[in-house]
Amino acid sequence: MKSFMIQGAKILATGSAIPSSSTTNHDISTIVQTSDEWIFTRTGIKERRLLKGVDQSIIDLAVSASKKALDKIAMHPSQLDLVILATSSPDDLFGSASKIQSKIGASNAVAFDLTAACSGFVLSLVTASQFLYTGAYRNILVVGADTLSKWIDWSDRSTCILFGDAAAAVILQSCSIVDNSVLTFQLNSDGNYANHLSIAYETDIIPHPKLNLHQGYFKYISMNGKEVYKFAVFQVPLSILKCLNSLNMSIEEVDWLLLHQANERILNAIAEKLSISSKKIISNLCKYGNTSAASIPLALDEAIKQNKILSNDIIVIAGFGAGLTWGTVVLRW
Ligand code: COA
């Protein structure tokens, strides 16, 4: 990777946006048979934000998060060269990134969607950094945004308790190699287990009468929770260790563990496997649930606002989810 680097990459600013109304575990218990106690003890989630009404969409959340990040560093949107939208719930299957590009006024940027479910932000961060390493681009906006509430079967208690809607953005800029803060990455996919977590397309059995053409529709989220849990706890520590080994970095040197916010028990189990103190885990999923591609930048933005992360801190970021896909990025802040 490093042999192609002519310059480094660093994160300049973050921003996030969440729907205004909160849906508690108690609210969920009025629509499916569950309880606050069951949800909290199995997942660590207390409440989530869901996009309600017809007047707001994933685009609005993504635009709001992006503008907050731009405002923090007083960057004019025309300075952006690229906009990457990590999402699995776009408003348009052809992609929603260009709508964000136009709404924020990033008139000089090319924009595309990147679909990798809950690993989408990690893959987008790595993708963005490659454009910066090679000198192709100078300023890149990466937005992780998902509104999975529209793909949830609200009568399925095994999935509807988990997810929330949100968007969060980071702005990356090229810098000299000595200031590079995206230190290394490690990415993986295993499509053999794609069925463990999917929003599958179902083809109609009856074809078009004249064309013999089968069309269809997307179904709700389906998930084998136990298998996804085992996969995350087994694979994510291996990916993190590969990254740390490649940097000759010890576990003790890690200041923050920022994992995809899927489940508090998964976060704790991964930290325990790595012998990382639970004090180093960044976690906010009790308030937002699993916000898919938004979860990591949302937690990052919040940790920065709380002044948790200091200059030069080592942050190990790992995403995992449908695909199955998982991966790690190590940052020096
Ligand atoms: N409320 C109450 N009971 C529930 C429930 C709910 N919301 N959901 C499931 N149950 C019941 C089940 O029906 C089952 O009952 P039974 O024993 O009578 O059959 C029992 O609770 C145990 O179900 P199980 O699926 O074995 O629970 P679990 O301990 O595996 O926890 C998850 C379920 C979903 C919380 C857990 O598997 C998980 O978090 N997996 C990872 C999912 C994830 O993070 N996905 C996204 C990754 S990006």
pTM: 0.95
46 Cα: distance to centroid of ligand 1 (angstroms):
15
Percent of the chain with pLDDT over 90: 92
Q: Per residue in 55-77, pLDDT tens? A: 789 999 999 999 999 999 999 99
Give ligand 1 pocket residues (Cβ under 6 A): 34, 38-39, 42-43, 118, 157-158, 161, 223, 225-226, 228-229, 262-263, 290, 321
Cβ–Cβ < 8 Å for 315, 258: yes
- Other beta carbons within 10 angstroms of residue 261's beta carbon come to 29
Q: How far is the CA of 162 from the centre of ligand 1 (A)?
A: 10
Task: Pick the residue whose CA is nearest to atom 38 on ligand 1.
Answer: 225
| Mean pLDDT of all residues in 193-200 | 95
223 CA: nearest ligand 1 atom = 45
- Nearest alpha carbon, ligand 1 atom 47: 321
Helix, coil or strand: residue 217: strand
User: Which pLDDT band holds residue 2 (cuts at 50, 70, 90)?
Assistant: low
Average pLDDT over residues 231-244: 98
Catalytic residues, by residue number, are 118, 260, 290
Give the pLDDT confidence of 137-179 residue by residue, as tens digits.
999 999 999 999 999 999 999 999 999 999 999 999 999 999 9
With a cut of 60, say whether residue 17 has pLDDT above it: yes
Q: How far is the CA of 265 from the centre of ligand 1 (A)?
A: 12
Check residue 214 and give its pLDDT: 85
Sign of the Cα torsion 70, 56, 91, 304 reads positive
Q: Quick check: 248 pLDDT over 60? A: yes
Name residue, tokens 């990777």.
1
Residue 206, burial from CB neighbour count under 10 angstroms (0-12, 13-18, 19+) = exposed
Q: Tell me, in angstroms, the distance from the centre of ligand 1 to residue 225's CA.
A: 6
Residue nearest atom 40 in ligand 1 by C-alpha distance: 225
Environment class of 189 (CB within 10 Å of its CB; exposed 0-12, middle 13-18, buried 19+): middle
Write the CB contacts of 171 (distance below 8 Å, at least 6 apart in sequence): 11, 12, 13, 14, 69, 70, 73, 75, 80, 139, 140, 141, 142
Residues 6+ apart with CB under 8 A from 92: 99
Confidence at 100, pLDDT banded by 50, 70, 90 = very high
pLDDT for 203? 86
In this structure, which CATH number among 3.40.50.300, 3.90.1150.10, 3.40.47.10, 3.30.70.270 belongs to the domain 8-179?
3.40.47.10
CA of 159 to the centre of ligand 1 (A): 8
204 phi and psi angles, rounded to 5 deg: -60, 140
Cα–ligand 1 centroid distance for 154 (angstroms): 15
Protein residue whose Cα sits closest to atom 32 of ligand 1: 225
**Each residue of 265-275: pLDDT tens digit?**
999 999 999 99
pLDDT of 54 reads 76
pLDDT at 106 over 60: yes
The closest residue, in CA terms, to atom 34 on ligand 1 is 225
Q: Indicate which residue's Cα is closest to atom 48 of ligand 1.
A: 321
**Domain 182-332, CATH homologous superfamily name and number:** Thiolase/Chalcone synthase (3.40.47.10)
Of 226, 227, 267, 324, which is best to mutate to test ligand 1, by the most ligand atoms within 8 angstroms of its C-beta? 226
Confidence class for position 210, pLDDT limits 50, 70, 90: confident
| Interval 209-228 mean pLDDT | 91
Average pLDDT over all residues of the chain = 95
Domain limits, CATH 3.40.47.10, in the chain: 8-179, 182-332
What is the average pLDDT across 119-145?
Answer: 97
Split at pLDDT 50, 70, 90, the class of 1 is: low
